[in-house]
Structure 1
Amino acid sequence: MALLTIQDETATGAVLTRLSLEIAQEMLTVRELIARRVHDEVAAYNARQTGTFHGLVQPTESERVLNGFRLRPAKAIDAEKQVYRALEAFQQNGFFVLVNDRQVESLDEEIWLGAGATASFVKLTPLVGG
């Protein structure tokens, strides 16, 4: 089983968060990678259900706080809804993904995630004022 390093970055390249994801196979689609990441984030939050949710996309009924999102009142997050929101955000250019320093273009693109592989999720910030 390989260990994939995932990092969230700003458009300028600053690393916001870094995490590791265990993967069983070396080839995945971008869709599967996003789903695995989101499922792991939601499972970690749901196990504790306190504090700030640090995830790829903002859960419904949450507020943005420094470095994450807070649910009031604290409750379990639906992983499937989060996966849907993340896939939709990818398709609408809310973020893009670099795998081994190469930008992936579609959710169905197959990517190699063997030993030493990295995946960077670059969140894009909408411009204020249109």
Structure 2
Amino acid sequence: MTTLIIKDETASGDILNEIRIKVENERTTLRDIITARVLTEVKSYNENKPEIFKGLIQPSDAEKTLNGFRVKKRKNIDGEQQVYVALDAFLKNGYFVIVDDEQITDYNKEILVNSETKISFLKLTPLVGG
């Protein structure tokens, strides 16, 4: 199992957020990385219910804040719905993913990763999910 560090960045290179995920194989796909990332964020939120959700996808019934998304009534977030919205947003260019300085445009492309792999998500538009 490999631990990867994913960074959310602005177009100018400012880091907005950092998350660690685990992937089972050194050969994986971007789809698997996105899924693992979203499910890790949702699991962490659902277990702790902090005031602010820091994640790739804005949950529906949440408002954008400077540091993330404020979930009304701190309800559980549906991870499966969040994954669906995240994958759909990728296909619609809602965000880009850069792996070791290469933009990945096909989320089914196999990627060789290790603990030194650099992964950056660049969000272009607010993403609203479930």
Compute the TM-score of the two structures, normalised by the length of structure 2.
0.91
Tell me how far 1:84 sits from its aligned partner.
0.6
- The answer on 1:48 being equivalent to 2:48 is yes
Answer 1 or 2: which has greater strand percent. 2
Report the equivalent of 2:78.
78
Aligned to 2:22: 22
Contact 2:31 2:108 in 1 (8 A): yes
Structure 1 unaligned spans of 5+: none
Runs of 5+ consecutive residues of structure 2 not aligned to the other structure: none
User: Partners in 2 of 1:116 and 1:3 — Cα distance?
Assistant: 9
Stretches of 4+ aligned residues off by more than 4 angstroms: none
Give the number of aligned pairs: 126
Query: Which letter maps to 2:53?
Result: F
What is the distance in 2 between the residues matched to 1:88 and 1:16?
Answer: 22
What is the TM-score when the length of structure 1 is the normalising length?
Answer: 0.91
Offset from partner CA, 1:26-45 (integer Å, 9 cap, x none)? 01111111000000000000
Contact residue 23 and residue 33 of structure 2 kept, 8 A: no
Is 1:92 the equivalent of 2:100? no
- 1:106 corresponds to: 106
* Higher mean C-alpha displacement, 37-46 vs 106-115: 106-115
